[in-house]
Structure 1
Amino acid sequence: MNIHNRFEVPLPPDQAWAVLLDIPRIAPCMPGARLISVDGDDAYTGEVQVRLGPVVMSFRGQARITSKDEANRSATVRAEGRDQKGRGGATADVTFRMVPAGAGTAVEIDTALTLSGSVAQYGRGAGMINDLANHLIGQFAGNLRKELDAARPAPVETPAVVAEPVTGETAQVAAAAPAVAPAQAQPEASPISGFRLGLWLAWRQFLRLIGRNPA
Protein backbone atom coordinates (compact mmCIF):
# COMPACT_ATOMS: atom_id res chain seq x y z
CA MET A 1 0.00 0.00 0.00
CA ASN A 2 1.45 3.38 -1.03
CA ILE A 3 0.54 6.55 0.83
CA HIS A 4 1.45 10.15 -0.02
CA ASN A 5 1.30 12.99 2.51
CA ARG A 6 2.45 16.59 2.60
CA PHE A 7 2.79 19.24 5.27
CA GLU A 8 4.61 22.54 5.71
CA VAL A 9 7.10 23.76 8.28
CA PRO A 10 7.57 27.49 9.01
CA LEU A 11 11.34 27.26 8.61
CA PRO A 12 13.71 27.54 5.64
CA PRO A 13 14.76 24.14 4.22
CA ASP A 14 18.18 24.00 5.89
CA GLN A 15 16.66 24.59 9.33
CA ALA A 16 13.71 22.27 8.65
CA TRP A 17 16.16 19.51 7.64
CA ALA A 18 17.98 19.76 10.98
CA VAL A 19 14.74 19.79 12.99
CA LEU A 20 13.08 16.85 11.24
CA LEU A 21 16.17 14.66 11.67
CA ASP A 22 16.20 15.38 15.42
CA ILE A 23 14.04 12.37 16.30
CA PRO A 24 14.01 12.83 20.11
CA ARG A 25 12.76 16.38 19.57
CA ILE A 26 9.97 15.66 17.10
CA ALA A 27 8.76 12.25 18.38
CA PRO A 28 6.45 13.80 21.04
CA CYS A 29 4.72 15.76 18.28
CA MET A 30 3.28 12.57 16.75
CA PRO A 31 -0.07 11.66 18.37
CA GLY A 32 0.06 8.34 20.20
CA ALA A 33 3.83 7.92 19.76
CA ARG A 34 6.45 7.40 22.45
CA LEU A 35 10.20 7.20 21.94
CA ILE A 36 11.63 4.46 24.18
CA SER A 37 15.33 4.56 23.39
CA VAL A 38 18.02 5.81 21.04
CA ASP A 39 19.89 2.70 19.94
CA GLY A 40 22.85 4.26 18.19
CA ASP A 41 23.39 6.36 15.11
CA ASP A 42 20.04 6.85 13.38
CA ALA A 43 18.36 3.90 15.17
CA TYR A 44 15.42 4.17 17.57
CA THR A 45 12.94 2.02 19.51
CA GLY A 46 9.45 3.28 20.13
CA GLU A 47 5.74 2.62 20.49
CA VAL A 48 2.73 3.99 18.69
CA GLN A 49 -0.97 3.48 19.35
CA VAL A 50 -3.36 3.73 16.46
CA ARG A 51 -7.00 2.91 15.75
CA LEU A 52 -7.73 0.68 12.77
CA GLY A 53 -11.47 0.43 12.33
CA PRO A 54 -12.99 -0.63 15.67
CA VAL A 55 -9.69 -1.78 17.18
CA VAL A 56 -7.00 0.22 18.98
CA MET A 57 -3.61 -1.35 18.43
CA SER A 58 -0.28 -0.72 20.11
CA PHE A 59 2.81 -1.29 17.99
CA ARG A 60 6.31 -1.56 19.39
CA GLY A 61 9.33 -1.72 17.13
CA GLN A 62 12.38 -0.12 15.63
CA ALA A 63 13.01 2.61 13.12
CA ARG A 64 16.28 3.36 11.36
CA ILE A 65 17.26 6.13 8.99
CA THR A 66 18.69 4.06 6.14
CA SER A 67 19.78 6.86 3.82
CA LYS A 68 20.30 10.62 3.93
CA ASP A 69 20.95 13.02 1.06
CA GLU A 70 21.66 16.35 2.70
CA ALA A 71 22.31 18.13 -0.61
CA ASN A 72 18.78 17.30 -1.83
CA ARG A 73 17.32 17.25 1.69
CA SER A 74 15.81 13.79 1.41
CA ALA A 75 15.98 10.72 3.62
CA THR A 76 14.52 7.22 3.92
CA VAL A 77 13.39 5.55 7.12
CA ARG A 78 12.71 1.84 7.59
CA ALA A 79 10.23 1.10 10.40
CA GLU A 80 9.06 -2.29 11.65
CA GLY A 81 6.66 -2.95 14.50
CA ARG A 82 4.55 -5.69 16.05
CA ASP A 83 1.24 -5.36 17.83
CA GLN A 84 1.83 -6.07 21.51
CA LYS A 85 -1.19 -8.40 21.65
CA GLY A 86 0.16 -10.52 18.82
CA ARG A 87 -2.35 -9.47 16.19
CA GLY A 88 0.19 -8.88 13.47
CA GLY A 89 2.67 -6.28 12.39
CA ALA A 90 3.51 -3.43 10.07
CA THR A 91 6.53 -2.56 7.97
CA ALA A 92 7.01 0.81 6.32
CA ASP A 93 9.63 2.38 4.09
CA VAL A 94 9.18 6.12 4.36
CA THR A 95 10.90 8.61 2.06
CA PHE A 96 10.62 12.31 2.74
CA ARG A 97 11.85 15.27 0.74
CA MET A 98 11.97 18.95 1.60
CA VAL A 99 11.42 21.72 -0.92
CA PRO A 100 11.10 25.50 -0.49
CA ALA A 101 7.53 26.74 -0.08
CA GLY A 102 7.37 30.51 0.21
CA ALA A 103 9.19 31.51 3.39
CA GLY A 104 8.96 27.95 4.72
CA THR A 105 9.42 24.35 3.65
CA ALA A 106 7.09 21.73 2.21
CA VAL A 107 7.75 18.16 3.34
CA GLU A 108 6.66 15.50 0.83
CA ILE A 109 6.26 12.01 2.31
CA ASP A 110 5.89 8.74 0.40
CA THR A 111 5.23 5.59 2.41
CA ALA A 112 5.25 1.97 1.23
CA LEU A 113 3.27 0.20 3.96
CA THR A 114 2.85 -3.55 4.46
CA LEU A 115 0.46 -4.97 7.08
CA SER A 116 0.46 -8.59 8.24
CA GLY A 117 -1.73 -10.85 10.38
CA SER A 118 -5.01 -9.59 11.79
CA VAL A 119 -3.74 -6.06 11.38
CA ALA A 120 -4.08 -6.47 7.62
CA GLN A 121 -7.79 -7.31 8.05
CA TYR A 122 -8.51 -4.40 10.37
CA GLY A 123 -6.80 -2.01 7.97
CA ARG A 124 -7.86 -3.63 4.70
CA GLY A 125 -9.57 -0.48 3.46
CA ALA A 126 -6.94 1.59 1.63
CA GLY A 127 -9.17 4.65 1.95
CA MET A 128 -9.30 4.27 5.72
CA ILE A 129 -5.50 3.97 5.98
CA ASN A 130 -5.03 7.08 3.84
CA ASP A 131 -7.56 9.02 5.91
CA LEU A 132 -5.84 7.96 9.12
CA ALA A 133 -2.39 8.89 7.77
CA ASN A 134 -3.60 12.32 6.65
CA HIS A 135 -5.25 12.91 10.02
CA LEU A 136 -2.14 11.98 12.00
CA ILE A 137 0.21 13.98 9.75
CA GLY A 138 -2.05 17.00 10.17
CA GLN A 139 -1.92 16.67 13.96
CA PHE A 140 1.85 16.14 13.85
CA ALA A 141 2.37 19.29 11.77
CA GLY A 142 0.23 21.33 14.16
CA ASN A 143 2.09 20.04 17.22
CA LEU A 144 5.44 20.68 15.53
CA ARG A 145 4.51 24.29 14.79
CA LYS A 146 3.60 24.76 18.46
CA GLU A 147 6.93 23.25 19.54
CA LEU A 148 8.84 25.55 17.19
CA ASP A 149 6.93 28.58 18.48
CA ALA A 150 7.69 27.62 22.09
CA ALA A 151 11.39 27.16 21.29
CA ARG A 152 11.84 30.59 19.74
CA PRO A 153 13.73 32.98 22.03
CA ALA A 154 11.68 35.82 23.43
CA PRO A 155 12.52 39.23 22.00
CA VAL A 156 14.88 41.21 24.22
CA GLU A 157 13.86 44.76 24.97
CA THR A 158 16.48 47.47 24.46
CA PRO A 159 17.10 49.14 27.81
CA ALA A 160 16.13 52.77 28.01
CA VAL A 161 19.01 55.19 28.61
CA VAL A 162 18.47 58.26 30.73
CA ALA A 163 20.77 61.12 31.63
CA GLU A 164 21.59 61.43 35.30
CA PRO A 165 23.07 64.82 36.24
CA VAL A 166 26.31 64.77 38.23
CA THR A 167 28.61 67.58 39.33
CA GLY A 168 31.16 68.52 36.68
CA GLU A 169 30.19 65.93 33.96
CA THR A 170 27.31 64.12 32.25
CA ALA A 171 26.82 60.36 32.74
CA GLN A 172 24.25 58.00 31.27
CA VAL A 173 23.01 54.88 32.98
CA ALA A 174 20.56 52.22 31.94
CA ALA A 175 17.24 52.88 33.57
CA ALA A 176 15.77 49.48 32.76
CA ALA A 177 17.25 45.99 32.41
CA PRO A 178 16.23 43.68 29.53
CA ALA A 179 13.00 41.86 30.24
CA VAL A 180 13.43 38.11 30.70
CA ALA A 181 10.62 35.98 29.36
CA PRO A 182 9.53 33.02 31.54
CA ALA A 183 10.58 29.59 30.31
CA GLN A 184 7.96 27.81 28.26
CA ALA A 185 7.44 24.08 28.49
CA GLN A 186 7.31 22.15 25.23
CA PRO A 187 3.78 21.01 24.37
CA GLU A 188 3.00 17.39 25.01
CA ALA A 189 1.94 15.25 22.08
CA SER A 190 -1.83 15.09 21.77
CA PRO A 191 -3.05 11.52 22.20
CA ILE A 192 -5.10 9.90 19.49
CA SER A 193 -8.71 10.35 20.50
CA GLY A 194 -10.23 6.96 19.78
CA PHE A 195 -13.88 8.05 19.91
CA ARG A 196 -13.51 11.25 17.88
CA LEU A 197 -11.12 9.66 15.39
CA GLY A 198 -13.46 6.68 14.98
CA LEU A 199 -16.41 8.94 14.19
CA TRP A 200 -14.30 10.99 11.78
CA LEU A 201 -13.11 7.91 9.88
CA ALA A 202 -16.61 6.38 9.83
CA TRP A 203 -18.04 9.60 8.36
CA ARG A 204 -15.41 9.73 5.63
CA GLN A 205 -16.05 6.08 4.78
CA PHE A 206 -19.79 6.82 4.53
CA LEU A 207 -19.18 9.75 2.18
CA ARG A 208 -16.90 7.59 0.06
CA LEU A 209 -19.53 4.83 -0.19
CA ILE A 210 -22.23 7.23 -1.40
CA GLY A 211 -19.86 8.71 -3.95
CA ARG A 212 -19.21 12.10 -2.41
CA ASN A 213 -15.74 13.61 -2.13
CA PRO A 214 -14.80 13.26 1.57
CA ALA A 215 -12.14 15.99 1.45
Structure 2
Amino acid sequence: MTEYLFNLPEIPAVPVAGEAGTYPIGRIFCVGRNYAAHAAEMGHEVDREAPFYFTKSAPNAVLSGAVVPYPPGTEDYHHEMELAVAIGRPVFRAGRDEAMAAIYAYGCALDMTRRDLQIRERKKQRPWDLGKDVENAAVFAPLTKASDWAPDAEKRIHLSVNGELRQNATLAEMVWKVDEIISHLSGFYHLRPGDLILTGTPAGVGPVVAGDVITGGVDGLAPVELTLTQAE
Protein backbone atom coordinates (compact mmCIF):
# COMPACT_ATOMS: atom_id res chain seq x y z
CA MET A 1 0.00 0.00 0.00
CA THR A 2 1.25 3.50 -0.88
CA GLU A 3 2.21 5.61 2.11
CA TYR A 4 1.27 9.23 1.58
CA LEU A 5 3.13 12.12 3.18
CA PHE A 6 -0.15 13.74 4.20
CA ASN A 7 -3.89 13.16 3.97
CA LEU A 8 -6.05 14.91 1.38
CA PRO A 9 -9.58 16.11 2.16
CA GLU A 10 -12.24 13.44 2.02
CA ILE A 11 -13.96 13.00 -1.35
CA PRO A 12 -17.25 14.94 -1.18
CA ALA A 13 -20.36 12.88 -1.89
CA VAL A 14 -24.00 13.79 -2.51
CA PRO A 15 -26.97 11.94 -0.97
CA VAL A 16 -29.35 10.19 -3.37
CA ALA A 17 -33.07 9.89 -2.65
CA GLY A 18 -33.96 6.30 -1.77
CA GLU A 19 -30.35 5.11 -1.55
CA ALA A 20 -28.23 4.35 1.50
CA GLY A 21 -25.06 5.04 -0.48
CA THR A 22 -23.95 8.46 -1.69
CA TYR A 23 -22.73 9.72 -5.06
CA PRO A 24 -18.98 10.56 -4.86
CA ILE A 25 -17.95 13.68 -6.79
CA GLY A 26 -15.14 13.12 -9.24
CA ARG A 27 -15.24 16.05 -11.66
CA ILE A 28 -17.50 19.09 -12.02
CA PHE A 29 -18.13 20.47 -15.51
CA CYS A 30 -20.13 23.68 -15.95
CA VAL A 31 -21.83 24.99 -19.09
CA GLY A 32 -21.41 28.72 -19.70
CA ARG A 33 -24.10 31.06 -21.04
CA ASN A 34 -26.71 28.37 -21.59
CA TYR A 35 -29.69 30.70 -21.08
CA ALA A 36 -29.93 33.53 -23.61
CA ALA A 37 -31.37 36.04 -21.14
CA HIS A 38 -28.50 35.43 -18.71
CA ALA A 39 -25.94 35.81 -21.48
CA ALA A 40 -27.59 39.13 -22.39
CA GLU A 41 -27.51 40.43 -18.82
CA MET A 42 -23.76 39.65 -18.79
CA GLY A 43 -23.34 41.61 -22.03
CA HIS A 44 -22.89 38.64 -24.35
CA GLU A 45 -24.73 36.72 -27.01
CA VAL A 46 -25.14 32.95 -26.81
CA ASP A 47 -22.70 30.98 -28.94
CA ARG A 48 -25.14 28.73 -30.79
CA GLU A 49 -22.38 26.89 -32.64
CA ALA A 50 -21.50 24.72 -29.63
CA PRO A 51 -21.65 24.77 -25.81
CA PHE A 52 -18.58 25.88 -23.88
CA TYR A 53 -17.40 24.84 -20.43
CA PHE A 54 -15.41 25.66 -17.34
CA THR A 55 -14.67 23.40 -14.39
CA LYS A 56 -14.81 23.46 -10.61
CA SER A 57 -12.71 21.33 -8.25
CA ALA A 58 -14.47 18.56 -6.35
CA PRO A 59 -12.91 19.56 -2.98
CA ASN A 60 -14.63 22.94 -3.35
CA ALA A 61 -18.07 21.31 -3.29
CA VAL A 62 -20.40 21.45 -0.27
CA LEU A 63 -23.83 20.05 0.41
CA SER A 64 -27.12 21.89 0.65
CA GLY A 65 -27.61 23.40 4.11
CA ALA A 66 -23.96 24.41 4.42
CA VAL A 67 -23.06 27.53 6.37
CA VAL A 68 -19.88 29.00 4.88
CA PRO A 69 -17.90 32.25 5.11
CA TYR A 70 -18.08 34.94 2.45
CA PRO A 71 -15.05 34.19 0.25
CA PRO A 72 -11.86 36.23 0.29
CA GLY A 73 -10.67 38.48 -2.51
CA THR A 74 -14.06 39.63 -3.79
CA GLU A 75 -16.59 42.40 -3.26
CA ASP A 76 -19.12 41.02 -5.76
CA TYR A 77 -20.07 37.42 -4.95
CA HIS A 78 -22.96 36.18 -7.11
CA HIS A 79 -25.51 33.38 -6.94
CA GLU A 80 -26.27 31.19 -9.97
CA MET A 81 -29.00 28.55 -9.78
CA GLU A 82 -28.44 25.44 -11.93
CA LEU A 83 -29.75 22.00 -12.80
CA ALA A 84 -27.05 19.38 -12.13
CA VAL A 85 -26.76 16.12 -14.06
CA ALA A 86 -24.93 13.13 -12.53
CA ILE A 87 -23.35 10.62 -14.88
CA GLY A 88 -23.90 6.96 -14.01
CA ARG A 89 -22.00 4.97 -16.63
CA PRO A 90 -18.94 5.48 -18.88
CA VAL A 91 -19.77 7.39 -22.04
CA PHE A 92 -17.53 8.61 -24.87
CA ARG A 93 -18.46 10.14 -28.21
CA ALA A 94 -22.10 9.49 -27.43
CA GLY A 95 -25.15 10.17 -29.52
CA ARG A 96 -28.05 11.94 -27.85
CA ASP A 97 -29.92 8.74 -26.94
CA GLU A 98 -26.79 7.17 -25.46
CA ALA A 99 -26.13 10.42 -23.59
CA MET A 100 -29.54 10.27 -21.90
CA ALA A 101 -29.02 6.61 -20.99
CA ALA A 102 -25.79 7.55 -19.20
CA ILE A 103 -27.56 9.83 -16.69
CA TYR A 104 -27.80 8.44 -13.18
CA ALA A 105 -29.56 11.32 -11.44
CA TYR A 106 -30.47 14.99 -11.40
CA GLY A 107 -30.23 17.62 -8.68
CA CYS A 108 -30.31 21.29 -7.78
CA ALA A 109 -27.00 23.13 -7.52
CA LEU A 110 -25.50 26.56 -6.97
CA ASP A 111 -22.58 27.85 -9.01
CA MET A 112 -21.35 30.64 -6.74
CA THR A 113 -19.10 33.14 -8.52
CA ARG A 114 -16.62 35.88 -7.61
CA ARG A 115 -18.06 38.03 -10.40
CA ASP A 116 -15.59 40.88 -10.12
CA LEU A 117 -12.66 38.50 -10.51
CA GLN A 118 -14.33 36.58 -13.34
CA ILE A 119 -14.95 39.79 -15.29
CA ARG A 120 -11.46 41.13 -14.57
CA GLU A 121 -9.81 37.99 -15.88
CA ARG A 122 -12.18 37.69 -18.83
CA LYS A 123 -11.32 41.21 -19.99
CA LYS A 124 -7.65 40.19 -20.04
CA GLN A 125 -8.53 36.96 -21.89
CA ARG A 126 -7.34 34.92 -18.94
CA PRO A 127 -8.93 31.79 -17.42
CA TRP A 128 -11.88 32.24 -15.05
CA ASP A 129 -10.50 30.05 -12.26
CA LEU A 130 -10.27 32.79 -9.60
CA GLY A 131 -13.86 33.75 -10.27
CA LYS A 132 -15.39 30.30 -10.58
CA ASP A 133 -13.32 27.64 -8.81
CA VAL A 134 -13.88 29.02 -5.32
CA GLU A 135 -13.91 27.18 -2.00
CA ASN A 136 -17.48 26.19 -1.03
CA ALA A 137 -18.76 27.54 -4.37
CA ALA A 138 -20.33 24.39 -5.82
CA VAL A 139 -23.37 23.54 -3.69
CA PHE A 140 -25.33 20.34 -4.28
CA ALA A 141 -28.75 19.26 -3.05
CA PRO A 142 -29.63 15.55 -2.71
CA LEU A 143 -29.97 13.84 -6.08
CA THR A 144 -33.07 12.24 -7.62
CA LYS A 145 -32.53 9.21 -9.86
CA ALA A 146 -33.23 9.63 -13.56
CA SER A 147 -35.82 6.87 -13.37
CA ASP A 148 -37.88 9.14 -11.09
CA TRP A 149 -37.47 12.53 -12.78
CA ALA A 150 -36.94 14.06 -16.23
CA PRO A 151 -35.82 17.55 -17.35
CA ASP A 152 -39.12 18.46 -19.02
CA ALA A 153 -39.17 21.88 -20.65
CA GLU A 154 -42.03 23.29 -18.54
CA LYS A 155 -40.32 22.65 -15.20
CA ARG A 156 -39.50 25.80 -13.28
CA ILE A 157 -36.01 26.72 -12.08
CA HIS A 158 -35.84 29.47 -9.47
CA LEU A 159 -33.76 31.08 -6.70
CA SER A 160 -34.49 33.40 -3.79
CA VAL A 161 -32.28 35.36 -1.42
CA ASN A 162 -33.74 35.87 2.07
CA GLY A 163 -37.13 34.91 0.62
CA GLU A 164 -36.96 37.44 -2.24
CA LEU A 165 -37.29 35.87 -5.70
CA ARG A 166 -34.26 36.62 -7.87
CA GLN A 167 -34.22 33.98 -10.62
CA ASN A 168 -37.33 32.51 -12.22
CA ALA A 169 -37.40 30.61 -15.52
CA THR A 170 -38.20 27.22 -17.03
CA LEU A 171 -35.89 24.57 -18.44
CA ALA A 172 -37.34 25.39 -21.86
CA GLU A 173 -35.03 28.42 -21.86
CA MET A 174 -31.90 26.27 -21.95
CA VAL A 175 -30.10 26.82 -25.26
CA TRP A 176 -28.38 23.43 -25.15
CA LYS A 177 -30.54 20.65 -23.74
CA VAL A 178 -29.21 17.96 -21.40
CA ASP A 179 -28.75 15.31 -24.09
CA GLU A 180 -26.96 17.77 -26.39
CA ILE A 181 -24.59 18.84 -23.62
CA ILE A 182 -23.60 15.29 -22.66
CA SER A 183 -23.23 14.24 -26.29
CA HIS A 184 -21.00 17.23 -27.05
CA LEU A 185 -18.91 17.03 -23.86
CA SER A 186 -18.35 13.31 -24.35
CA GLY A 187 -16.53 14.13 -27.56
CA PHE A 188 -13.76 15.69 -25.47
CA TYR A 189 -13.76 13.59 -22.28
CA HIS A 190 -14.34 9.99 -21.33
CA LEU A 191 -17.24 10.79 -19.02
CA ARG A 192 -17.67 8.40 -16.11
CA PRO A 193 -19.61 7.87 -12.86
CA GLY A 194 -18.75 10.67 -10.46
CA ASP A 195 -18.90 13.36 -13.15
CA LEU A 196 -21.41 16.13 -12.44
CA ILE A 197 -22.48 18.63 -15.09
CA LEU A 198 -23.98 21.99 -14.16
CA THR A 199 -26.16 23.02 -17.09
CA GLY A 200 -26.16 26.82 -16.83
CA THR A 201 -28.12 29.51 -15.03
CA PRO A 202 -31.11 31.64 -16.05
CA ALA A 203 -31.27 35.42 -15.88
CA GLY A 204 -31.44 37.22 -12.55
CA VAL A 205 -28.01 36.50 -11.11
CA GLY A 206 -26.81 39.01 -8.59
CA PRO A 207 -24.71 39.76 -5.52
CA VAL A 208 -25.09 38.28 -2.05
CA VAL A 209 -23.51 39.37 1.23
CA ALA A 210 -22.68 37.88 4.61
CA GLY A 211 -25.87 36.95 6.44
CA ASP A 212 -27.81 36.06 3.30
CA VAL A 213 -29.66 32.77 2.95
CA ILE A 214 -29.85 31.50 -0.62
CA THR A 215 -32.51 28.94 -1.57
CA GLY A 216 -33.17 27.48 -4.98
CA GLY A 217 -35.14 24.77 -6.67
CA VAL A 218 -36.26 22.97 -9.78
CA ASP A 219 -39.76 21.50 -9.89
CA GLY A 220 -39.75 17.96 -8.50
CA LEU A 221 -36.18 18.00 -7.12
CA ALA A 222 -34.88 18.48 -3.58
CA PRO A 223 -34.15 22.20 -3.02
CA VAL A 224 -30.69 23.64 -2.42
CA GLU A 225 -29.75 26.08 0.36
CA LEU A 226 -26.62 28.01 1.34
CA THR A 227 -26.03 30.45 4.20
CA LEU A 228 -23.18 32.98 4.12
CA THR A 229 -21.45 34.21 7.25
CA GLN A 230 -18.85 36.92 7.79
CA ALA A 231 -15.57 36.54 5.92
CA GLU A 232 -12.81 34.83 7.85
More strand by share: 1
More helix by share: 1
TM-score by length of 2: 0.24
TM-score by length of 1: 0.25
Higher relative contact order (CA closer than 8 Å, sequence separation 6+): 2
Rg larger for: 1
